[in-house]
A and B are shown apart, each in its own frame.
Chain A
Amino acid sequence: MNQFLLQQGTSPELQLFPHIIEFSLKKNHSIQLNSFPETISDTLRIYYIMDGKFEWIIHNHEHILYPGDVAVVLPGQKLGGSKGFLDIGSINWIHIKTDKLDRSGKLLPGKWSCLSKNESLAIGKILYVNTHLVLLKAREVGIMLQELRQELVQQQIGYTAAVNHFLDQLLISIARKLSQQNISYRDFPQAFTKLENALRQNLAHQWTVEEMAGLVGLGTTSFTEKVKNYTGFSPLNYLITIRISEAIKLLKRQGLNVTDIALDTGFYSSQHFSTTFKKLTGYTPSEFKKRNVSKN
């Protein structure tokens, strides 16, 4: 494939796709000093290595990328060459502007996307909990970018839908591959411990089963079945045991109010907290707090 550079505002091909900020294929034949200093990205960037060897610093981590590898840079993360320049080789990249992608992993791709709200949230979560956003040997991403280019250039019937479809597909492939990459599929207890740590670190988040399953690299059906076998609980009920036990610890501490505890431990309101707590423990949170304080 030949080199190309499409940019929002100047390239007519992108007129119907305001969310594609840049789409390019570059063949770099020579090294130029300071050609690739570290800069902060304001978009979601996906790089696919076609040829050569690239030494990059992504979000303060050094990576060496080989053909077939994919690097993902999130808004707010830094990217640049390890030595400040772009290495010799070919890369294909795309910069996508999303309506929202924040540090808590909340992803709203935009109107163009067909992803459901829960799916977007799950993908965003996977992007943000995986600290090393480098995919090894993800040739399907390269193929998708090629097809995306074809659609943009040829503009056949239905191409706007097709282009946006490929963008969704890109996000899906990257999320799936990321969630599977670091898991051996041999040790469920280990994978579950990792998940449990993620849950505890962000207990206030409204976790969905899709997000939890994504972190373990399973589909929701087999994830739910595995968790049920392993813990005796459905994933959401297991999460409730964590929420309530953390809430109990906070209730037994002095000086915290019930509403704060409710929100900190992931209940959407003190009412929701109260109902769940009473159903499980036989006490309302306030009664429970009193019982444990009155003994002082």
Chain B
Amino acid sequence: MDCIISIELGTNAVRIFAFDMQGNVIGFAKGAYPTFHPVPDHSEQDPEQIFITMLYILKNLLSEKIHPQKHKVLCICFSAAMHSVLAIDRNGVPLGNAITWADNRGKKEAQALKNSPLGKKIYNATGTPIHPMSPLVKIAWIKNHDKERFKQTWKFLSIKSYIIQQLADVYVIDYSLASATGLLNIHKKNWEPDSLKYAGISSDKLPELVPVFHAENKLRKEYQTLLGLSARTKIIVGSSDGCLAMLGSGAWKKDKATITIEDSGAMRVIGKQVLQDKKQRFFNYILTDNYYVSGGPTNNGGVVFEWFAKQFGDFKNAFDIESSMEELIQEAAKVATGSDGLLFLPYLLGERAPIWNANARGVYFGLNINHERKHLIRATIEGILFEVYSISKTLEEHRTINSITVNGSFASIPFCTQLIADIFNKPVSISKNTNSVSLGAFLLSATEMNIYKDLDEAAQTVVLPDTYKPNKQNHSVYKKNFAIFENLITRLSDEFGAIANLQ
């Protein structure tokens, strides 16, 4: 039997899925790698450990599940977290660790650029919000603060480009991942001169741009032998996790949106046009020549609920946060919609869309003497989802959204999914494939192999049966709560800055 393998280079781990040609999962493996924070604001990963981890679990998956069944691997397709930067020298050797999306070292550079006319121009050209996450800002930071590394750098890669280079000996980046660097003009689809000038580099410092379907590369001989794969196994460059999650989400229609909430989260829409926003609130990433994925990211997803569980949950067994969170959800379900007037602003990690304020902080608002722990639990969950709703409100200034699909471990907890339906007042479907990113990678690969005639046809095959209907009464309660939530964010803007200064 033929099969397709997807490799997702995620924030904390690499996840590898094997699919049969109908898109059923026939094998899975994961391997985690650490993130280092040598100083606050820095967030780094070791590219060699990512490579070894990927190779190790890929080899095990192949030798334990794929080869014994005589499955033939037709292709390997990559996806990766966006915004990473890895400097390498002339010999291809990494100069230090890779800098991940969560790194904030460039916050001063980002602040200055964002408020300048050049910043606005670059945002409009590249579609990537001006933010420390952006590789554009990170490279500028290296130029300003790590001159030795900047001088020695032969190329600035993404983690995915490095992994593909190790396997196949080419320096490439797909237009999709490149469109999240702040360096690519998403309209003209070439490296943006203004960005290059700001970052202080020429385009030969960047990998070669290729389409997401690019499949010209072959595994090095040694890896063919090691993995038991042939030279005919295609290496498909693939896309970014965000864009592939959109493709695999089942929301491939103009009036649909998809919400992904894992640790962090995002709300996304697909379209043939870029969403131009004067307030620079959205990202616009290229998926293919015809399609843009637009939306807004939040820092404060499941990670905030996990924080709550760690501080206030019950732990009957050591480190058993899963049971602790389950019990919290059960308790939250006992509280009335709207938590009896208790609100929570979830900005424990500062916030990106829609307020783009790194100084934003968490707030419980409206506490009275009758509120119990269970109210705080429910308010916490509602607050996390209100934040996503606030992204939705800004998206709806540009698009009509009639229904929503959700994926990701937090958003797909049934209790949370129903809350999304009630808060957003829209029907919500949930993906039966829990991993939309890998499903997106499968659809992309299958399209490359002409199993589908194009991505439209591929995306339509994702059927989402399970629908959560909004409850009108609950929605009217949430509407009132949300009005206060929205006002609080605006009013607290100065105080966020003041309190962040004390921390």
* A258 contacts chain B at the CB level, 8 A cutoff: no
Give the segment of A23-31, A130-138, A182-190 that binds chain B: A182-190
* B55 contacts chain A at the CB level, 8 A cutoff: yes
- B52 and A245 contacting across the interface, CB-CB below 8 Å: yes
Known: A245-B48, A249-B48, A252-B93. A280 touches B34 (CB 8 A): no
- A282 and B222 contacting across the interface, CB-CB below 8 Å: yes
Q: Please, which residue of chain B has its CB at the minimum distance from the CB of A226?
A: B319
- B32 and A217 contacting across the interface, CB-CB below 8 Å: no
- A222 and B318 contacting across the interface, CB-CB below 8 Å: yes
Complex Cα distance, B49 from A185, in Å, reads 27
* A52 contacts chain B at the CB level, 8 A cutoff: no
- A241 and B93 contacting across the interface, CB-CB below 8 Å: no
Q: Residues of B contacting A282 with CB < 8 Å?
A: 222-223, 225-227
* B427 contacts chain A at the CB level, 8 A cutoff: no
From 385 to 406 in chain B, residues with beta carbon under 8 angstroms from any chain A beta carbon are none
Complex Cα distance, B40 from A185, in Å, reads 24
* B29 contacts chain A at the CB level, 8 A cutoff: yes
* B46 contacts chain A at the CB level, 8 A cutoff: yes
- A185 and B52 contacting across the interface, CB-CB below 8 Å: no
- A248 and B32 contacting across the interface, CB-CB below 8 Å: no
* A115 contacts chain B at the CB level, 8 A cutoff: no
* B189 contacts chain A at the CB level, 8 A cutoff: no
Complex Cα distance, B51 from A244, in Å, reads 10
- A283 and B310 contacting across the interface, CB-CB below 8 Å: no
Number of B interface residues, CB 8 Å?
34
- A186 and B319 contacting across the interface, CB-CB below 8 Å: yes
Give the segment of A2-10, A56-64, A141-149, A227-235 that binds chain B: A227-235
* A104 contacts chain B at the CB level, 8 A cutoff: no
- B93 and A186 contacting across the interface, CB-CB below 8 Å: no
- A186 and B321 contacting across the interface, CB-CB below 8 Å: yes
Interface residues on A, range: 20 to 34
Complex Cα distance, B34 from A88, in Å, reads 49
Q: Contacting B91 at CB < 8 Å: which of A240, A281, A296?
A: A296
- A241 and B53 contacting across the interface, CB-CB below 8 Å: yes
Q: Mark B22-44, 1 if CB is under 8 A from A, else 0.
A: 00000001111110000000000
Q: Residues of B contacting A257 with CB < 8 Å?
A: none
B427 to chain A, nearest CB (A): 34
Q: Residues of A contacting B13 with CB < 8 Å?
A: 231-232
Q: Contacting A241 at CB < 8 Å: which of B30, B52, B225, B321?
A: B52
Q: Mark B306-328, 1 if CB is under 8 A from A, else 0.
A: 00011101010011010010000
Which of B13, B56, B226, B313 counts the most A-chain CB atoms under 10 A from its CB? B56
Q: Residues of A contacting B227 with CB < 8 Å?
A: 282
- B222 and A186 contacting across the interface, CB-CB below 8 Å: no
* B92 contacts chain A at the CB level, 8 A cutoff: yes
Q: Contacting A185 at CB < 8 Å: which of B92, B93, B315?
A: B315
* B463 contacts chain A at the CB level, 8 A cutoff: no
* A292 contacts chain B at the CB level, 8 A cutoff: yes
* B57 contacts chain A at the CB level, 8 A cutoff: yes
Complex Cα distance, B59 from A244, in Å, reads 15
Complex Cα distance, B320 from A218, in Å, reads 12
Q: Residues of B contacting A283 with CB < 8 Å?
A: 222
Q: Contacting B32 at CB < 8 Å: which of A218, A232, A249, A292?
A: A232
Complex Cα distance, B427 from A86, in Å, reads 74
Known: A218-B318, A222-B318, A249-B48. A281 touches B226 (CB 8 A): yes
Q: Please, which residue of chain B has its CB at the minimum distance from the CB of A294?
A: B91
* A170 contacts chain B at the CB level, 8 A cutoff: no
Complex Cα distance, B318 from A217, in Å, reads 9
Complex Cα distance, B15 from A244, in Å, reads 20
Known: A217-B318, A292-B93. A281 touches B52 (CB 8 A): yes
* A193 contacts chain B at the CB level, 8 A cutoff: yes
- B310 and A187 contacting across the interface, CB-CB below 8 Å: yes
Q: Residues of A contacting B33 with CB < 8 Å?
A: 241
A197 to chain B, nearest CB (A): 9
- B315 and A245 contacting across the interface, CB-CB below 8 Å: no
Q: Please, which residue of chain A has its CB at the minimum distance from the CB of B221?
A: A282
Q: Mark A241-253, 1 if CB is under 8 A from B, else 0.
A: 1101110110010
Q: Residues of A contacting B59 with CB < 8 Å?
A: 280
Q: Residues of B contacting A232 with CB < 8 Å?
A: 13, 29-32, 57
Q: Residues of A contacting B93 with CB < 8 Å?
A: 252, 292
Q: Please, which residue of chain B has its CB at the minimum distance from the CB of A183?
A: B318
Q: Residues of A contacting B319 with CB < 8 Å?
A: 185-188, 191, 218, 226
From 258 to 285 in chain A, residues with beta carbon under 8 angstroms from any chain B beta carbon are 280-283
Q: Please, which residue of chain B has its CB at the minimum distance from the CB of A233?
A: B31
* A295 contacts chain B at the CB level, 8 A cutoff: yes
Known: A241-B49, A244-B52. A292 touches B321 (CB 8 A): no
Which of B13, B31, B34, B318 counts the most A-chain CB atoms under 10 A from its CB? B318
Given contacts A184-B310, A232-B13, A232-B29, 18 further A-B contacts (CB under 8 A): A186-B310, A187-B321, A193-B34, A218-B319, A222-B318, A233-B32, A237-B56, A241-B31, A241-B53, A241-B56, A245-B51, A245-B52, A246-B48, A248-B51, A280-B56, A281-B52, A292-B92, A293-B91
Question: Could you list which residues of chain A lie within 8 angstroms of chain B, going by C-beta atoms?
Answer: 184-188, 191, 193, 196, 217-218, 222, 226, 230-233, 237, 240-242, 244-246, 248-249, 252, 280-283, 292-293, 295-296
Leading 7 A-B pairs by shortest Cβ distance: A282-B226, A245-B49, A231-B32, A188-B319, A245-B48, A282-B222, A232-B30
Sample of 30 A–B contacts (CB below 8 Å): A185-B318, A185-B319, A186-B310, A186-B313, A186-B315, A191-B319, A193-B34, A196-B34, A218-B319, A226-B319, A230-B32, A231-B13, A231-B31, A232-B13, A232-B32, A233-B31, A241-B31, A241-B52, A242-B49, A244-B52, A248-B48, A248-B51, A280-B52, A280-B56, A281-B55, A281-B226, A282-B226, A292-B93, A293-B91, A295-B91
